Amino acid sequence: MSTNFSLHNHHLQTDSDDTNAPSGDTLNRRPRGRPPGSKNKPKPPIIITKESANTLRSHILEITNGCDVFDCIGTYATKRQRGVCIINGSGTVNNVTLRQPTSSVTGPVLTLQGRFEILSLCGSFLPPPAPPGATSLSVYLAGGEGQVVGGNVVGALIAAGPVIVIAASFSNVAYERLPLEEDDHEAVVSGGFSDVGTVSLPVFKLPEDGGGGGWSGNMGINNRLF
């Protein structure tokens, strides 16, 4: 009697263990959803500590009364060893010398006395050893009686008050001669690039000018900053 009771209890315990034991599918199945605390954490910001050599900087240059605008910008480019692209300018100037555009290679030089307001100012300045042809400054001026005159600056452009110049500067320059050769054209079409001289200022792969150094259209640049 006791033996039968023990066997009966043994069968009940075995059945209970089989019922509570997890199946193989349950053991191999992954839980659904994200585990607690697994939300997307904010990533730290990426900080660039070194400026790219191809960065184009924007500038607002203020030239004080009595200074030569051309001379000041040219000296600025030389001291900073950066190319400067003049976008526009405003202010008044005195005693302007311009070369007016004509069909000939060298147009007539016009010297203006008096006070004129700058309507438009644009140009480019590259520090030595760039050839003189790489630097030029063009201006359009309005006189007191409404007359408008313009041309390339070939002499002093004296500020008659604060002159504000909007400019952009760069440290890398690439020289390419146009039109492209046949090999260069095929390289561009195929997705490649020709061997273009891209270097940092003040080293230029520009054609040397036989006329010597100095800034184009001016009497030379001294070593002063505005």
For residue 7, pLDDT beyond 70: no
155 vs 10, more confident: 155
pLDDT level of residue 160 (50, 70, 90 thresholds)? very high
Q: What is the CATH classification number for the domain harbouring 117? A: 3.30.1330.80
- Domain assignment present for residue 101? The answer is yes
Residue 150, beta-bridge partner list: 140
Give the structural domain span for 130: 57-183
Q: Looking at the domain assignment, is residue 133 inside a domain?
A: yes
pLDDT single digits (tens) 169-221: 998 877 778 888 876 655 555 544 444 454 455 444 444 443 333 333 443 33
Enter the pTM of the model.
0.60
The tally of domains found in the chain comes to 1
Q: Does residue 64 fall inside a structural domain?
A: yes
On average, the pLDDT of the chain sits at 74
Question: Please, are residues 59 and 139 in contact by the beta-carbon 8 Å criterion?
Answer: no
Please classify residue 181 by burial: count the beta carbons closer than 10 Å to its beta carbon, then call 0-12 exposed, 13-18 middle and 19+ buried: exposed
Question: Residue 131: inside a domain, yes or no?
Answer: yes
Q: Is residue 140 part of a domain?
A: yes
The pLDDT score that the predictor gives to residue 88 is 97
Q: Is 226 part of a structural domain of the chain?
A: no
Distance of alpha carbon 120 from alpha carbon 110, whole angstroms: 18
Q: What is the mean pLDDT of residues 137-150?
A: 92
- Confirm whether 42 is domain-assigned: no
Q: Tens of pLDDT along 122-133?
A: 999 998 877 777
Does 194 reside within a domain?
Answer: no
The answer on pLDDT for 9 being more than 70 is: no
Q: What is the mean pLDDT of residues 68-81?
A: 94
Alpha-carbon distance of 217 to 220, in angstroms, equals 9
